[in-house]
């Protein structure tokens, strides 16, 4: 039995070796923010780096492309180098560019090469919808019916995936595999290393959506032999709403012609020759398309500094401690109130958030917000709670569960309609 006292939470915060990082963020005193798996909070360094880029525009004008503290012409590659340690990649294998969906389109257009009876793409029924939309689109562009050629591995319980089931779907007609590293709803971690080994043994290229894992736990994409990956930077990496995304391509594929081409994928020394025939970059930079969104990438400059200082091993350790503490308090303080913890409880399979279900979830989320706790509602009856190790505390967790307990005991959630808002 854990110590349920507020004093115990305070003691854990005092022992937290990452506690100083909270002061780096704009954390409101009257708000407990547990939605960092949807949009991370603004850090002071991200603000500073954004203002620095604006200053560069102000003082240099067009010369900002090659002058100033962070010349824009090389910024995507610079940020790729800074990101690479978070996913276990080599610097030249990563570039910050596009968005999750744009990058997925680029990578599928490159790696999906149907031939003979190998025409199908394997994904899963629990994937984030944008991934499925992109895969359906790419199949149609190739003249294939998604109903027949998009194979969706099924979940046995509606929350998680069984890796044996995924492997059994890696049949001779599969031309490409795209899977999440962490399921966005239940937070289940998939065994990237094992799934990649199984795919490569069958000579099927495999890629992963890292949106809910980058910045949460260490990866070793290069050593595992993952062919490609893509992600957003506005969740745990705190790069701001609509911040530039990122992609990884294993160096084994360098020299391959990208499925989609654009001038910023050119080799840097050739780009402004303006030749009709493109000379692609010889690394992941080749997968860029148009002019990079500099102002959308600027916050990431400062944000990645914090990750370099904190270290992924320490961040993962605290993340597991926070989510375990949250689950323990839910088990004890909310017992008999209709809540079900639907995420994996084992450390090796749990991502960065806790996922609970309740028939009144939409109303409960509204009541939590009224009490200063920011959760994330997922229809029809899911509540995601993501304590972020850079800025959340054990007292945040204690207070959030305490307020939730009070909401349930007083039934104040009944003041709200049990339906989601336009944005949820």
Q: Where on the phi/psi map is residue 392: left (φ > 0), alpha (ψ -120 to 50), or beta?
A: beta
Residue 234 designated active-site: yes
Q: Is 291 annotated as a binding residue?
A: yes
> Counting Cβ atoms within 10 Å, is residue 219 exposed (0-12), middle (13-18) or buried (19+)?
buried
Domains delineated in the chain:
6-30+312-407 (3.90.1150.10), 48-309 (3.40.640.10)
Q: Report CA 55 to chain centroid distance, whole Å.
A: 30
pLDDT of 423 above 90 = no
DSSP 387: -
Q: Binning pLDDT at 50, 70 and 90, where does residue 422 land?
A: low
- pLDDT tens-place string over residues 254-303: 999 999 999 999 999 999 999 999 999 999 999 999 999 999 999 999 99
Residue 235 designated active-site: yes
Please, how many CA atoms are within 13 Å of residue 70, restricted to the half-sphere of its CB?
A: 22
pLDDT of 32 above 70 = yes
Choice among 35, 124, 209, 396 that is catalytic: 209
Instruction: Annotate 50-66 with DSSP letters as a single string.
Output: HHHHHHHHHHHGGGGGT
Residue 394 designated active-site: no
Q: Is 340 annotated as a binding residue?
A: no
Compute the distance between CA of residue 64 and CA of residue 80 in angstroms, rounded to an integer. Answer: 19
> Counting Cβ atoms within 10 Å, is residue 196 exposed (0-12), middle (13-18) or buried (19+)?
buried
Residue 384 designated active-site: yes
- pLDDT tens-place string over residues 352-405: 999 999 999 999 999 999 999 999 999 999 999 999 999 999 999 999 999 999
Sole residue written with tokens 């199949």: 139
Choice among 22, 120, 350, 384 that is catalytic: 384
Sole residue written with tokens 């503490």: 325
Q: Are 222 and 236 in contact (CB under 8 A)?
A: no
> Counting Cβ atoms within 10 Å, is residue 399 exposed (0-12), middle (13-18) or buried (19+)?
middle
Six token digits for residue 192: 């990237």
The whole-number average pLDDT for the span 57-72 is 97
Helix (H) / strand (E) containing 254: none
- pTM to 2 decimals? 0.97
- pLDDT tens-place string over residues 99-125: 999 999 999 999 999 999 999 999 999
Q: Are 384 and 355 in contact (CB under 8 A)?
A: yes
Q: Is 323 helix (H, G, I), strand (E, B) or coil?
A: helix
Residue 26 designated active-site: no
Q: Binning pLDDT at 50, 70 and 90, where does residue 420 land?
A: confident
Rounded mean pLDDT of the chain?
Answer: 97
Six token digits for residue 101: 């969906």
Compute the distance between CA of residue 230 and CA of residue 240 in angstroms, rounded to an integer. Answer: 17
Q: Is 228 annotated as a binding residue?
A: no
């Amino acid at each position: 039995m854990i110590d349920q006292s507020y004093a115990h939470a305070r003691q854990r915060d005092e022992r937290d070796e990452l506690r100083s990082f909270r002061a780096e963020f704009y954390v409101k005193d009257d708000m407990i923010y547990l939605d960092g798996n949807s949009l991370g909070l603004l850090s002071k360094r991200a603000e500073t780096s954004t203002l620095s880029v604006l200053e560069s525009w102000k003082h240099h004008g067009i010369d900002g492309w090659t002058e100033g503290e962070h010349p824009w012409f090389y910024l995507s590659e610079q940020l790729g180098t800074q990101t690479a340690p978070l996913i276990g990649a080599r610097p030249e294998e990563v570039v910050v560019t596009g968005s999750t969906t744009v990058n997925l389109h680029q990578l599928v257009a490159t790696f999906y090469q149907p031939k003979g009876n190998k025409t199908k793409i394997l994904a899963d029924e629990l994937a984030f919808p944008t991934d499925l939309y992109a895969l359906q689109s790419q199949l149609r562009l190739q003249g294939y019916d998604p109903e027949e050629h998009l194979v969706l591995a099924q979940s046995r319980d509606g929350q998680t995936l069984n890796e044996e089931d995924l492997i059994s779907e890696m049949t001779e007609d599969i031309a490409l595999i795209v899977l999440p590293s962490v399921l966005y709803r239940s937070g289940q971690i998939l065994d990237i290393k094992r799934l990649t080994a199984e795919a490569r043994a069958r000579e099927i290229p495999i890629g992963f959506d890292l949106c809910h894992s980058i910045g949460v736990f260490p990866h070793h994409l290069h050593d595992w032999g993952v062919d490609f990956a893509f992600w957003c930077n506005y969740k745990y990496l705190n790069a701001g709403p609509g911040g530039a995304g990122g992609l990884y391509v294993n160096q084994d594929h360098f020299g391959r012609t990208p499925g989609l081409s654009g001038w910023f994928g050119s080799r840097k020394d050739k780009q402004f020759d303006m030749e009709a025939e493109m000379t692609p970059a010889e690394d992941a930079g080749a997968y860029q398309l148009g002019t990079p969104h500099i102002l959308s990438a600027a916050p990431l400059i400062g944000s990645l500094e914090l990750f370099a200082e904190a270290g992924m091993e320490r961040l993962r350790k605290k993340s597991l401690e926070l989510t375990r503490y949250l689950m323990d308090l839910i088990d004890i303080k909310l017992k008999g109130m209709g809540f079900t913890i639907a995420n994996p409880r084992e450390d090796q399979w749990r991502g960065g958030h806790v996922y609970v279900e309740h028939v009144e979830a939409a109303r409960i989320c509204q009541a939590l917000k009224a009490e200063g706790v920011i959760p994330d509602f997922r229809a029809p009856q899911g509540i995601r709670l993501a304590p972020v190790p850079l800025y959340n505390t054990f007292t945040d967790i204690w207070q959030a569960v305490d307020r939730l307990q009070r909401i349930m005991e007083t039934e104040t959630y009944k003041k709200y309609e049990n339906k989601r808002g336009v944005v949820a």
